[in-house]
Amino acid sequence: MVQLVNRSKDSVLANNIEPALTFISRLKGLMGRPQITSGYSLWLRPCSSVHTFFMRFPVDVIFVSKDWRVVGTKENMRPWRATGFYSDVVHVFEFAVGTLNNTGTEVGDRLLLKGG
């Protein structure tokens, strides 16, 4: 099992990670899904911005640099929204709403993909 861990806070952000590593999988993202559950994350790479067009639910989003440092967060990003571009971001993770608050994740934290 692969986990996304916040090393700075010693907390697990997700233990069910779905990679979206192709253009088509990143474009589709979470569109058309009825919901996502706590412990799940969509991992978009490479990626420097996201949108929630055609989504049915809000998400928490983390923007992560090449060295796995959190450089941006967006809590409760509602459908039909878009973020700006982050020039230093390589990875973006989308989670169920409440994940950022429950784990205390914030800008500057260091993350780690563990296992697998």
> For the whole model, what pTM was predicted?
0.94
What residue numbers bound the domain in which 11 lies? 3-114
Q: Do residues 62 and 11 make contact, with C-beta atoms less than 8 angstroms apart?
A: no
* pLDDT digits (tens), the chain, 116 positions: 789 999 999 999 999 999 998 888 888 888 878 899 999 999 999 999 999 999 999 999 999 999 999 999 999 999 999 999 999 999 999 999 999 999 999 999 999 999 86
Q: Domain holding 79: CATH number?
A: 2.60.120.1140
Structure tokens belonging to residue 45: 């790479």
Q: How many domains does the chain have?
A: 1
27: left (phi over 0), alpha (psi -120 to 50) or beta: alpha
